[in-house]
Amino acid sequence: MSEATPEAAWIGAALAAARPKAVAALLRYFRDLDAAEEAFQDASLRALRAWPRNGPPRDPAAWLILVGRNSGLDRVRRAAREAPLPDEAALSDLGDAEADLAERLDGADYRDDILRLLFVCCHPDLPATQQIALALRVVSGLPLPRIARAFLVSEAAMEQRITRAKARIARAQAEPGAVPFAAPGAAERAGRLFAVSAMLYLLFNAGYSAGADPERAGLCGEAIRLGRLLLRLFPGEPEVMGLTALMLLQHARAPARTDAAGEIVLLEDQDRGLWDAGAIAEGLALIDKATRHGQPGPYQIQAGIAALHARAAEPEDTDWAGIDRLYAALERMQPSPVVSLNRAVALAKLAGPAAGLARVEPLAERLDGYFHFHGLRGAFLMQLGRGAEARAAMDRAIALAGSPAEAIHIRRQLDRLAREAGAGPGG
């Protein structure tokens, strides 16, 4: 098979970039996800035929919206035996029609359209797995096989998941009083932004937790791409800045998070020269800009913690007191046993493993099924020389590990404990 030509590559990139705007506008026209996707696919096929011959349009998104809308309407016209669409020769630039559409689809229209599309994908009636799958398929346009591989399910199962999600949305739209396609007001927009942000962070974490798995790790890049899109729509929203900064700063460490064998490398042991300097610079600039707004939120605080790690040239340079203060603020703003568990790491760095263990122990009941709780508790016990208890905690962590890499990491810790303890019983 021959390689893609530069022209084909440009067209593919233009279609991918225009997709969110075009599908969002077509959703407003047709009020049906399947119809909007079908219209966009029809328009994309026409673009593949027309653009190489006639040249690129001035506004690819406006071109695709107009052609997609006409394509959808043409189905109705053909059923009524009305005139079909003109052939591609008449679609070289669409003249004044495209220009008029581009003028009318100003930033506010695009913003509300895309926010509406994202919000439909993370409808509160849908479970998180369906929200993410639908966003990847409808907004990002990822092929079904790739989505299925990323979530370790068959293509048939993923197709069924997406179909069920669309059907549930359609049922919700049919309920009395439902107005999902109305332009959101200020209060509703704030609620939608929160829901969309939560969905994007879930998508990012689905990739981040995959470690060295390239198929799933690619979800991080897609979440960042959608975060940047949301940031372009709402450039003055500090929490959107915080979310995007958080994802950039965390993903910047990806090259150093696993070794050549795919095993986990702890933050303090990572080669910081492997971190993505460009992503770090972008993330730091965003969190600094967000902080100047003086409206702190959970994503900004988490990004602030990631920024303190990123700014440390060496592990010993880390501002653990600053990290502890930020976790304390996050505990007040968004109380969670997981937040408290993370704060225990900072506390242990400041006051020793006994202080960290004292902070962790009260979390046992709520986090008994959480891999990281038992791993961290085991690490503190190991540092305190309480070998038998450390082994029990780490055995529990291995049983709860979410991936082979996590289990191997804990096994290495146990091997180290065994070497230090020798043949005698643990302390």
Residue 211 reports pLDDT greater than 70: no
Contact 2, 10 (CB under 8 A): no
Convert 67-121 into a string of H (helix), E (strand) and C (coil). Answer: HHHHHHHHHHHHHCCCCCCCCHHHHCCCHHHHHHHHHHCCHHHHHHHHHHHHHHH
pLDDT (tens digit, 9 = 90+) per residue, 68-78? 888 877 765 66
pLDDT (tens digit, 9 = 90+) per residue, 93-108? 444 444 444 444 444 4
Q: What whole-number distance in Å separates Cα of residue 19 and Cα of residue 186?
A: 25
The predicted model scores a pTM of 0.77
Provide the pLDDT for residue 424: 42
Region 378-406: mean pLDDT is 88
Region 40-50: mean pLDDT is 89
The DSSP result for 306-349, as a single string, is HHHHHH-SSGGG--HHHHHHHHHHHHHHS--HHHHHHHHHHHHH
Q: What whole-number distance in Å separates Cα of residue 372 and Cα of residue 367?
A: 9
Provide the pLDDT for residue 109: 55
Region 257-268: mean pLDDT is 84
pLDDT (tens digit, 9 = 90+) per residue, 159-207? 999 999 888 888 876 665 554 555 556 666 677 788 888 888 988 988 8
Provide the pLDDT for residue 98: 46
CA contacts within 13 A on the Cβ side of 48: 13
